Amino acid sequence: MVFSSVVFIFYFLPIFLACYLTLPFKHAVLLFFSLCFYAYGEVLYTYIMLVSIVLNWAFGIFLGAAAEGRSRQVVLAVGVTANLTALCYFKYLGFFHDIAAEIVPSLVSGPRPDVHLPLGISFFTFHAISYLIDVYRRQVPVERSLMYVAVYITMFPQLVAGPIIRFHNIREELHHRRATLAMFTAGIQIFIVGLAQKVLIANTMAVPADAVFDLDPATLAAPVAWLGITCYTLQIFFDFCGYSTMAVGLGLMIGFHFPENFRDPYAASSITDFWRRWHISLSLWFRDYLYIPLGGSRAGPLATYRNLLIVFLLCGLWHGANWTFVVWGLWHGGFLVIERLGVSRLLEACGAVVRHVYVMLVVMVGWVFFRADTIDQALGMLRAMAGWGRLDENAAVLGQFLTPEVDLALLVGVVAATPLMGNAVRWGIEWLSGACGGGVPGRRIADGVYLALIVAGFLLAVTSLAAGTYNPFIYYRF
């Protein structure tokens, strides 16, 4: 089940809210509906998540009972290893089999293991690991209630696609939270903004992006190749940002303050800045639980560069068991190293336009590897973007990909991917409030116009969904 679906919006969510807001046992309601949400798309593998919950709750208890020193370290190591072993088995067994078959074919026999990838396992595994490490570091007390650990890991707003939430950030709200009317209405508005981003922009961009990437790269003219990657650049941002925004809105409706996951990443001035703005919860997770424990930047430049490459290699693998994700991770890690070698100072001396072109070029080339199924396809796409492709009668005509809906979504998407749209809305509301006399009456009129825009966005989104538009979700793969 995805948030941007008729089933979720008109059936699951209203029933959940009615039960949650009226029944006294909030945690049981949230846990029950979260399990139903997960089982809707992954009924046969729900037990994997349930086993993870019980084991990590038990490891937390053991950490709390263990004496200081080596015994606590052993419990933490066993707990983290158990989580990573499950993740590696379900997500990477086939990938490791392929690598072994290439390196030592004599030792590998039989076909590639066909292991099902449980929905959201990358996210709930990282949640579980962060809980154990926070308990080990004594950033939070041991959670002795299995219910609270279960709710933390299964909460449906962030269960299958994040944002990645630290236990210590929401522990107080798990135990003591109160959803006010103001929070509830703000949550609805935030949810609708995310829904519009996903349905009206990401879904529209997905059609030409998929169409271009489905073509033989050798037949692509450069303009078509650039159109394909431009559409995908907007699709993946509004797809994931839209989902994260909906998750934040849903959390607010029930009294949780989830962290911001995107902060205008395409307006970044460097790749370092990009990773302070893109998938912030994942960046901070890798920083706090991997980069800093590896030594961070404390052991000199060479160790810092090594640590950055390790982190982004694993960041790429976290996204998928494919060499394309490895290249994507190392591509970004490599540019972080390059910027630390002096490129960042060079960029500071350049104008804003040069910095923006640099960032978008690096990011879009990276997205080619992220989107491609194979390294060969990615390289073929890059050759086409460089103008080395063969001009084909079918692929040369941009018009077959550019419909009025795509043109409008491209225009809106480019503007909305920068701070311009948010600033324009705020300035417009302030101007309207002043133009209507200011004070309380003017503010009410401005708020009414803003509410009308929100309602219009919701109606357009649900109309699009009702029409059966293409509605993929990229991060369900992870």
The model's pLDDT over 17-62, given as tens digits with 9 standing for 90+, comes to 999 999 989 999 999 999 999 998 778 788 899 999 999 999 999 9
Given a contact cutoff of 8 angstroms between Cβ atoms, the answer to whether 319 and 325 are in contact is yes
| Termini Cα distance of the chain | 15
The pLDDT, as a whole number, for residue 453 is: 86
Task: Give yes or no for residue 391 having a pLDDT over 60.
Answer: no
Tell me the C-alpha distance between 176 and 171, whole Å: 8
Lowest mean pLDDT among 133-147, 157-171, 305-319: 157-171
Residue 287: CA atoms inside 13 Å, Cβ hemisphere, count? 11
CA–CA gap between residue 51 and residue 57 (Å, rounded):
10
**Cα separation, 121 vs 87, whole angstroms:** 7
Give the pLDDT of residue 403. 86
What pLDDT is stored for residue 8 in this prediction?
92
Give the lowest-confidence range in 5-14, 87-96, 156-165, 240-249: 156-165
Q: Name the residue ranges covered by the structural domains of the chain.
A: 6-177, 184-406
Using alpha carbons, select from 20, 87, 93 the residue that is nearest to residue 51.
87
Q: Which residue has the higher pLDDT, 413 or 160?
A: 413
3-state helix, strand, coil in the chain (%, to 5): 75, 0, 25
Which of 127, 279, 319, 332 is catalytic? The answer is: 319
Question: Which contacts of 337-340 are long-range, i.e. CB under 8 A and separated by 24 or more positions?
Answer: 337/305, 337/308, 337/309, 339/270, 339/271, 339/272, 340/301, 340/304, 340/305, 340/308
Q: What is the mean pLDDT of the chain?
A: 88
The closest of 101, 158, 102, 157 to 130, measured between CA atoms, is 158
Give dist(CA 178, CA 47) in Å, integer. Answer: 31
- Confidence class of residue 449 from pLDDT cuts 50, 70 and 90? confident
Are the C-beta atoms of 239 and 202 separated by less than 8 Å? yes
pLDDT per position as a tens digit, 434-447: 666 666 565 666 66
DSSP 299: T
Rounded to whole angstroms, the Cα distance separating 237 from 262 reads 9
pLDDT at 88: 93
Furthest-apart CA pair in the chain: how many Å?
A: 82
- To the nearest 10 degrees (0 to 180), the angle between helices 46-65 and 121-136 is 10
Q: Which of 94-108, 205-219, 442-456 has the lowest mean pLDDT?
A: 442-456
Is residue 243 predicted with pLDDT exceeding 70? yes
CB 266 within 8 A of CB 201: no
Query: Residue 60 carries which side chain, given as an amino acid letter?
Result: G
How far is the CA of 108 from the CAs of 88, 96, 115, 232, 321, in angstroms? 18, 11, 17, 37, 19
If you count them, how many residues does the chain have? 478
Average pLDDT over residues 270-293: 94
- Model confidence at 412, pLDDT cuts 50, 70, 90, reads very high
Residue 399 has a pLDDT of: 73
Predicted local confidence at residue 145, as pLDDT: 92
Whether residue 290 has pLDDT greater than 90: yes
| pLDDT for res 256 | 93
Cα 2 to Cα 8, 116, 161, 239: the distances in Å are 7, 19, 10, 12
pLDDT tens for 271-282 read: 999 999 999 999
On whether the CB atoms of residues 266 and 418 are closer than 8 A, the answer is yes
To the query of whether residue 175 is one of the catalytic residues in this protein, the response is no
Between residues 298 and 332, which one has the greater pLDDT? 332
Distance between CA 356 and CA 333 in Å, rounded? 19
Q: Is the model more confident about 197 or about 178?
A: 197
Picking from 226, 220, 263, 262, the residue whose alpha carbon sits closest to that of residue 244 is: 262
Which tokens belong to 246? 């909906």
Cβ within 8 Å of residue 421, ≥6 positions away = 412, 415
Residue that wins the pLDDT comparison between 135 and 101: 135
Rounded CA gap, 86 and 290, in Å?
19
Q: What confidence score (pLDDT) does residue 346 get?
A: 86
Q: CA–CA distance from 451 to each of 128, 193, 197, 388, 456 (Å)?
A: 39, 11, 17, 49, 9
* Cβ(159)–Cβ(40) below 8 Å: no
Rg of the chain over Cα atoms, rounded to whole angstroms, equals 24
Mention every residue, 6+ apart, whose C-beta is less than 8 A from residue 150: 31, 53, 57
- Region 342-363 average pLDDT: 89
CA 289 to chain centre: 18
What pLDDT, on a 0 to 100 scale, did the predictor assign at position 394?
47
For the chain, percent of residues with pLDDT exceeding 90: 59
Query: How far apart are the C-alpha atoms of 237 and 239, rounded to whole Å?
Result: 5
Residues 6+ away with beta carbon under 8 Å from 29: 16, 19, 20, 23
Q: Predicted confidence band at 356 (pLDDT cuts at 50, 70, 90)?
A: very high
Q: Pick from 327, 352, 337: which is nearest to 306 by CA?
A: 337
Predicted confidence at residue 268, as pLDDT, reads 94
For residue range 111-157, what is the model confidence (pLDDT) as tens digits?
888 888 888 899 999 999 999 999 999 989 999 999 999 999 999 99
